[in-house]
Amino acid sequence: MSLPVQPAPWSGPSPLPGRTTPAEGCPRARAGAAGLSLGGGRTACAEAREFTERVLGDWELDHLLDDALTVVSELVANAVLHGPAGDAGGGVESELLLRLKRRPAHLMCAVTDRGEALPRPGREGASLEEGGRGLIIVEALSQHWGWTRCNPVGKTVWAMLPTEART
């Protein structure tokens, strides 16, 4: 398994902005960039999947839907579990930012959180462990993945999916 490249090509956001509007009301979604602010609670993954499905439909990238939903779910779940709230025992919801960016050859999926812990893929061969496979799945589905530190705190974990349909 290869380690992610650092520095990353994603020039993600630094501070997290306020909640954005859903894709159908977001003119930027049609222009090739869409973002959604999420709470770090139990509904974050479901909200992220719903948003991703709407945006990819708007961008006519339905052929990427299964892979994109899986990647986004894994990135958001990792941010919830290993972000500042997860590190503190889960008592406080943290704020996350999901960004989708359409480029000519790929779709960039990125999740920003305020956590300082860097992403680490699970150990290969640890098939009986309950967790630790999320970034292995992200790596398997994406062309590239990696992370970027945000200033002053936090990180963005990103993955690039090819936009061409697989043959």
What is the model's pLDDT at position 48?
Answer: 97
The whole-angstrom separation of Cα 108 and Cα 11 is 11
- pLDDT tens over the chain, length 167 residues: 444 444 333 343 333 444 444 444 454 555 799 999 998 888 999 999 999 999 999 999 999 999 999 999 999 999 998 777 654 444 455 689 999 999 999 999 999 998 888 777 765 655 545 556 788 999 999 999 999 998 888 999 999 999 987 65
| SS3 letters across 63-122 | HHHHHHHHHHHHHHHHHHHHCHHHHCCCCCCCEEEEEEEECCCEEEEEEEECCCCCCCCC
What is the model's pLDDT at position 23?
Answer: 45
What is the model's pLDDT at position 120?
Answer: 72
What is the model's pLDDT at position 27?
Answer: 46
Domain positions in the chain are 23-123+130-162
The whole-angstrom separation of Cα 46 and Cα 93 is 16
Q: 151: closest CA among 121, 112, 119, 120?
A: 112
What is the model's pLDDT at position 127?
Answer: 57
What is the model's pLDDT at position 94?
Answer: 66
Q: How many residues does the chain have?
A: 167
CATH of span 23-123+130-162: 3.30.565.10
Task: Taking the CA atoms of 58, 61, 97 and 95 in sequence, report the sign of the dihedral they define.
Answer: positive
